[in-house]
Amino acid sequence: MAAGRRRLRRMSMMSGAAVPAAWPERIRALARGELEPVVPRRAATVLLLRDTAAADSGPAVHMLRRRASMAFAAGAYAFPGGGVDPRDERPVRWAGPALDDWAGLLGVDPAAAQAVVCAAVRETFEESGVLLAGPDGGTVVADTTGGDWEADRAALVAHDLAFADFLDRRGLVLRTDLLRPFARWITPEFEERRYDTWFFLAALPAGQLTRDVSGEADRTAWLRPADAVAGYDRGELTMLPPTITMLRDLLPHGSAAAALAAAPGRDLAPVIATATVDEAGAVVLTWPGHEEFTRTAPGGEER
């Protein structure tokens, strides 16, 4: 048993990938019909980009390191984001593509599309203090610092304030045109906490600053994708597969504007891991189209 636990720990630490050691047995339980998959919760994540001082060095992306105490992806670097609040479906003043267009882009019905887009903007504000909204469809709030803004942000985090009420009270329009859909990943069926997550790109609005306000993070940083990828490859930065994939996809772009311009037309078909158990009981975990994340847990771990 001790040797088996060591093999599972090695599986969880390969190449900086945050692969929970509990997965192999959960995969076997799913294969035996003993595990009922959890219905994934809709979620949204935003890659906030800003240009760096060095020309053509590529944009930096805002990242948070999740606290070690977190139940999901503890210790992993991630982007601001989180689950959809049912109240995110409430009507808001809307600038940008029509809701039916967003529904087509995201592959869901209009109500769900609004909830996902609202969650993307709301979670970004909650976890970084950056707000993609303005007094009208052509402007963005220039400053979100100050006690009144912080009180509203804290109320949103505590679910004491609905995002629609927050925008309405401040007379703000949701700037959905500042978001670019980038990818969609769904947590595997064997995971205890599952999310159907849409990833978006957005440039940091002029005048706004990110703040270290997320209660779920113990560190925040602006990292160039190349540096973050190098840290992951050296095993210094832990990330879930979609996170490192998003960073690799940003590598060709020399500026935030270039990354946003390249986003339309990207494949938004959901990526979800598949797992098989061979005759020897070994678990093979793969993400279709992303071979670098293939993992194998040796057999002999059956309970």
pLDDT (tens, 9 = 90+) of the chain, 303 residues, equals 333 333 333 333 334 454 567 777 888 888 888 889 899 999 999 999 999 877 567 899 999 987 554 445 557 899 999 999 999 999 999 999 999 999 999 999 999 999 999 999 999 999 999 999 999 999 999 999 999 999 999 999 999 999 999 999 999 999 999 999 999 999 988 888 899 999 999 999 999 999 887 666 678 899 999 999 999 999 999 898 999 999 999 999 999 999 999 999 999 999 998 888 887 778 888 888 898 888 887 764 433
Q: pTM of this prediction?
A: 0.88
Question: 222: which strand partners?
Answer: 62
- Looking at the structure, do residues 131 and 245 belong to the same domain, yes or no? yes
Encoded tokens for 67: 């606290």
Cα separation, 223 vs 210, in Å, equals 13
Does one domain contain both 12 and 65?
no
For residue 102, what are the CA distances in angstroms to 8, 95, 96, 114, 125? 41, 12, 9, 8, 21
What's the count of helices (H) and strands (E) in the chain, helices before strands?
A: 9, 14
Same domain flag for 185 and 99 = yes
**Which two tokens mark 268?**
């938004």
Query: Are 102 and 208 members of one domain?
Result: yes
C-alpha angle with apex 196: 194 to 198, nearest 5 degrees? 140
Tell me which residue range forms the domain holding 25: 1-36+273-303
CATH code of the domain in which 209 resides = 3.90.79.10
**How far is the C-alpha of 275 from the C-alpha of 296, rounded, in Å?**
10
Q: Which stretches does DSSP call E strand in 68-216?
A: 77-78, 81-83, 94-95, 133-134, 173-175, 180-186, 195-203
62 and 17 belong to one structural domain: no
Most distant CA pair in the chain, distance:
62
Q: How many domains does the chain have?
A: 2
